[in-house]
Amino acid sequence: MIEADRPSPEAFLRQAAQEGRGRLKVFLGAAPGVGKTWEMLTDGRHRREAGVDVVIGVVETHGRRETEALVEGHEIIPRRQVDHQGHSLGEMDIDAILERRPRLVLVDELAHSNAPGSRHPKRYQDVEELLGAGIDVYSTLNIQHVESLNDVVASFTRVRVRETVPDSILENAEIEVVDIPPDELIERLKDGKVYIPQEATRALTHFFSKSNLTALRELALRRAAQAVDAQMLDHVRSNALAGSFAVGERIVVAVSELPVAAGLVRAGKRLADALRAPWTAVYIETRRSQAMTDDDRKQLADTLALASRLGASTATVPAASVVEGLRSFARDARATQIVIGKSARPWWFELRHGSVVDQLVRTIDDVAVHVLPGEPDAKAAARPKLAIPGRWGKPAHYLWSLAMVAVMTALGRLLIEILDLGNISLLYLVPVMFAAATFGLRAGLFAGLASSLAYNFFFLPPTGTLTVNNPENVVSILVLLGVAVVTSQFAARVRAQADLAQSSARQNAALASFSRQLTAAPDQDVLMQAICAEVGRLLDVRAVLLLPSVDGPTLRAAVPPEDRLEQIERAAAQWAMDNEQPAGRGSATLTASDWLFHPLRTTRGVLGVLGLTRDDAREPVRSDQVPLLMSLLDQASIALDRMELEEASLRARQVDERDRLRSALLSSVSHDLRTPLTTILSAAQEMRRHPTAEMAGTIETEALRLNRFVSNLLDMVRVEAGALPMKAEATELFDAAASAAHDTRASLAGHEVRIDINSGIPLVRLDPVLLHHCLINLLDNAGRYADPGTPITIRASRTADAILLSVIDQGPGIAPGNEKRVFETFTRLEGSDRAKHGTGLGLAIVKGFAEAMGLSVEAGNASDPHGARFTIRIPEALIVTHPADEDIS
């Protein structure tokens, strides 16, 4: 049944996205102590011995001697030290690895959370950056850290893991399961090979029970099998390989608008649970779908919603026939089992239309088909016949068909002298094809019958009657009628397929437009308004969105705007939130409400409810709109979930940054206030006994230092508040540099300040006070970190579109990768020349003042002589071109 087809574009796109990226291999274990790190290091050693450039990014040995022995011989990238709440934490140095560019890097504990202030909050994000740079990564992970299994693990271990890794990380990774039997792991734990004895005893009575370890082992094996199965399917689809590749079970449940379909869904759920297999409920949309009543469409929507609640994926597939659609979908999904119901039909119905089940079984070779009985005969007979509105078409359709026959008849009478009767009969195929393609099968059959009669009456002797004298002409009439019937069938089928394709294309276009609108939303308020606006536009309804709160459902967005909802509407919204089921008008609960509320469900629960209503008091959603609404609700739920997670992540980063700033501020205040105050107190006590000019000078110097520190704090507050007073005027850069050098002569004692600004450098329109502060902080920074006795240079140069004003020292310089971090508030980087005493505010103030004046500032290293270079870039727009018109500062 499965035959070679064209390669899957989606699989090709996923493969193309991996081009140029490094490969990730994850050593997956059921629990700590199974040997993941040992296995990773062993594989890394084998790769290194094979000539591959391998380094260790980070490995946690936990004091295990056998693990430490495997680390020996590997090149280890030194960890980057991060200050957090007075402690120095070692994290993986991404920049050092990127600069080193090995072929393979070993990174332990993929789910690890980085210290606040790191580039990424999670280690798996560090790994993503390394993979994006084309570096292969080996990493380790325990099954309880996989995001989708977090709740499952917590349900039986009673331990909820906070550090999780998204399932998407595993989708493109090679997975090696590191597995040992639970009894052996427990013995390792008792022998102290996993934890120290005190922790091991506690672990044995809690997390490391045999039942827990067995369940975790099964989860690890099944998750690895799922990942391998998904990768295998991608390979099969991208290479258009034939076959179902039934290494893992994949179930498809065929549903319809009949009530028996709900039983099929439940049976499919039981089968999927027994086999632990993914499953999909699919509806095949054919020409018959256009004849469904509102009740049928509602029944179908309820069945698909039931499947979704039970954990199935759902799909609606347009096709010429049910059998063709099921075969195509099963081929694309690589299904191994199909669940289908057999309706109780009269023998004459199956003789006329055929049996879907029989055709499916005959045409499928390598897929198991489970057939469930449908309604009993009595019940099927009692089922009301479908009322198909407009089944026979409009009278105008038949009139147009008759008119086309008349036109062909007139044309035939004109051509009777030059065409024989056989060719004239072909003219009547034109109205048949036109009527069938335009108006449907019955109009085509009508046109075929009318054409046969017209051909007999006007062209076959004796003309003017329906009598046929020649037996050959009888055959001609029958052939014409047969050709007309067959042509009508084909034309009507093509028309029906075109209608289905057009309907599917409209729905896909609507969903694509909806997705684009949601993706473009910058924040939650705009997103919720976009959801209401798009749903209202696509379904022609009024829409509201409510979120849960301590005071009940809170109205957050509405199109058109709504000020308030009645008590019954709020009760329906609350019920929908609590029970995760629709409530209100058109549902089975609280039908007195004018609004229909649908819950927005995700794996994290109900995020809110979407309410719909119409001004004309009709049902909020037509039955044919239900599938589109379900798709819109799914997309809206995902978008809201993504936005909430992004905002939660932002809040977490802000809290971490606030903690970092608080710790840095306390550190700075305790050091940079205490030191000068101690000096001042000591000098004052000494002066009380022996007054000297030297003591007075010391007090003055330290007081100035203290004053500068407080000024920097105030300046930083003004920068962050956007409250900088600014008065731009024409400024001479040489004079600004000389003034700054004069004011910092005390802190630059022992350093010569060289000003390399020639007379050809034009004036610039800047605030001279803010520029003075920038230069003072840069010179103070240079004096603090330059080697003793070395000069400090202030240099200006002109480029095609800017003036570059640089302060250059001669010292160790800035470590690679820290060029931007030096401008962060309270940043004093370890392992570089930026680690010496200071508040960590000076360079942040430089950046804030420069940007306030429309300038940019960057840090780097000078090569000859070596040292740090800080450059202020003054753009062309701030360069004075007509000095005569300016007041020079």
253-268: per-residue pLDDT in tens?
Answer: 999 888 888 889 999 9
Between CA 643 and CA 645 the distance in angstroms is 5
- The model's confidence at residue 832, banded by pLDDT at 50, 70 and 90, is very low
Tokens of 349: 């119905």
Question: In 3D, which of 606, 607, 626, 638 has the Cα closest to residue 541?
Answer: 626
Lowest mean pLDDT, pick from 120-129, 273-282, 733-742? 273-282
Instruction: Name the region of 612 (left: φ>0; alpha: ψ -120 to 50; beta: rest).
Output: beta
Q: List, edge to edge, every strand of the sheet that includes 802-808.
A: 753-756, 792-798, 802-808, 866-875, 856-863
Element (H, E) at 739: helix 733-743
pLDDT over threshold 60, residue 28: yes
Q: What whole-number distance in Å separates Cα of residue 308 and Cα of residue 626?
A: 14
Confidence at residue 597, expressed as pLDDT on a 0 to 100 scale? 92
Looking at residues 844-870, what average pLDDT do you find?
Answer: 87
Cite the DSSP H helix spans in 158-196: 168-171, 182-190
Per cent of the chain over pLDDT 90 is 15
Confidence of residue 746 (pLDDT cuts 50, 70, 90): confident
Q: State residue 144's pLDDT score.
A: 86
| Cα(825)–Cα(615) distance, integer angstroms | 56
The four Cα atoms 638, 641, 646, 649 give a dihedral, to 10 degrees, of: -140
Question: Measuring CA to CA, which residue among 747, 821, 738 is closest to residue 780?
Answer: 747
Which pLDDT belongs to residue 438?
75
Taking the C-alpha atoms of residue 589 and residue 34, their distance in angstroms, rounded to an integer, is 52
d(C-alpha 186, C-alpha 205), whole Å? 11
Contacts with 596 (C-beta within 8 Å, 6 or more apart), sequence order: 582, 583, 584, 585, 586, 587, 611, 612, 613, 619, 620, 621
> What was the pLDDT predicted at 301?
79
Pair 633, 596: CB distance under 8 Å? no
CB under 8 Å to 2, separation ≥6 — which residues? 242, 243, 244, 331, 334, 366
Task: Assess whether pLDDT exceeds 70 at residue 856.
Answer: yes
Q: For position 379, what pLDDT does the model report?
A: 41
Dihedral Cα 429, 431, 432, 438, nearest 10 deg? 140
Confidence band for 384, pLDDT divided at 50, 70 and 90: very low
Q: How far is CA 460 from CA 373, 431, 476, 477, in A?
A: 55, 19, 10, 9
Q: Range with the lowest mean pLDDT among 107-116, 166-175, 707-716, 858-867?
A: 707-716
Please give the pLDDT value at position 197: 53
Q: One-letter amino acid identity for 566?
A: E
Most confident of 50-54, 416-420, 425-429: 50-54
The residue among 795, 743, 793, 797 whose CA lies nearest residue 768 is 743
Residue 497 pLDDT more than 90? no
| Residue located via tokens 């290194």 | 48
pLDDT at residue number 669: 57
Contact 581, 589 (CB under 8 A): yes
Tokens of 405: 């026959």
Give 299's pLDDT tier (boundaries 50, 70, 90): confident
Contact 112, 123 (CB under 8 A): yes
- The residues with which 753 forms a beta bridge, in sequence order, are 792
pLDDT value of residue 116: 81
Residues in the chain: 889
Answer with the residue of higher pLDDT: 38 or 442: 38
Contact 748, 741 (CB under 8 A): yes
Q: Which carries the bigger pLDDT value, residue 530 or residue 377?
A: 530
Q: Which residue has the tokens 């009888």?
A: 474
| Mean pLDDT over each residue of the chain, to the nearest integer | 78
> DSSP letter at 78?
P
- Averaged pLDDT for residues 817-832: 66
8-state DSSP, 440? -
Higher confidence at residue 657 or residue 655?
655
Percentage of residues of the chain with pLDDT beyond 70: 76
Which pLDDT does position 2 carry in this prediction?
A: 39
User: What per-residue confidence (pLDDT) applies to 756?
Assistant: 92
Q: What is the pLDDT of residues 117-166, one digit of tens each?
A: 788 888 998 999 999 889 999 999 988 888 878 777 877 777 777 888 88
Please give the Cα distance from 131 to 654 (Å, whole number): 27
Is the pLDDT confidence value at 40 over 80? yes
**Sign (positive/negative) of CA torsion 473, 477, 483, 484?**
positive
Q: Which is it for strands 87-91 and 104-107: parallel, antiparallel or unpaired?
A: unpaired
> pTM for this structure?
0.46
Question: Is residue 764 within 8 Å of 774, Cβ to Cβ?
Answer: no
- Predicted local distance difference test score (pLDDT) of residue 349: 58
What's phi and psi for 879, nearest 5 deg?
A: -90, 130
In degrees and rounded to multiples of 5, residue 340 shows phi and psi of: -140, 150
Take residue 133 and report the two structure tokens written for it.
């740079």
Contacts of 715 (CB under 8 A, 6+ apart): 773, 841, 845, 848, 849
| 387/364 Cα distance (integer angstroms) | 34
Band of residue 380 on the pLDDT scale cut at 50, 70, 90: very low
- Answer yes or no: are the C-beta atoms of 564 and 555 closer than 8 Å: yes
Residue 206: Cβ-neighbour burial (10 angstroms; 0-12, 13-18, 19+) = exposed
* Residue 42, H or E segment: helix 36-49
Tell me what pLDDT residue 162 has.
Answer: 80
Grouping H, G, I as helix, E, B as strand and the rest as coil, residue 673 is coil
CB 228 within 8 A of CB 169: no
Q: What is the pLDDT of residue 882?
A: 73
pLDDT at site 53: 93
Average pLDDT for residues 628-647, to the nearest whole number?
A: 83
Residue 381 C-alpha from the chain's centroid: 50
Residues paired with 563 in a beta bridge: none
More confident residue, 505 or 392: 505
pLDDT of residue 104: 94
Instruction: Assign residue 646 a region (left: φ > 0; alpha: ψ between -120 and 50; beta: otherwise).
Output: alpha
Pairing, β 279-285 against β 251-255: parallel
Report the pLDDT averaged over residues 489-517: 70
Angle between helices 294-309 and 626-672 (to 10 degrees): 40
Contact 97, 105 (CB under 8 A): yes
Contact assessment for residue 856 and residue 700, using Cβ atoms and an 8 Å cutoff: no
Across 458-467, 694-703, 792-801, the highest mean pLDDT is recorded for 792-801
Among 302-306, 429-433, 776-780, 838-842, top mean pLDDT goes to 776-780
Which has the minimum average pLDDT: 47-56, 62-71, 80-89, 231-240?
231-240
Which of the residue ranges 99-113, 160-174, 715-729 has the most confident prediction, judged by mean pLDDT?
99-113
Of 212 and 6, more confident: 212
Distance between CA 662 and CA 669 in Å, rounded?
Answer: 10
Average pLDDT over residues 834-857: 74
Lowest model confidence (mean pLDDT) among 216-230, 377-391, 526-540, 605-619: 377-391
8 A C-beta contact, residue 428 and residue 410: no
- Tokens standing for residue 483: 């050709």
Task: Name the band, by pLDDT with cuts 50, 70 and 90, for residue 581.
Answer: confident
Residue pair 386/291 in contact (Cβ under 8 Å)? The answer is yes
Question: Of 166, 171, 220, 212, which Cα lies nearest the Cα of 27?
Answer: 220
Name the residue type at position 656. Answer: D
Residue 331 pLDDT: 81
Give residue 198's identity as a one-letter amino acid code: Q
Strand partners, 714: none
Q: Which two tokens stand for residue 502?
A: 């057009």
| φ/ψ (deg, to 5) at 558 | -160, 140
Q: Which two tokens stand for residue 814?
A: 């800035």
Closest C-alpha to 157, from 145, 165, 173, 169: 145
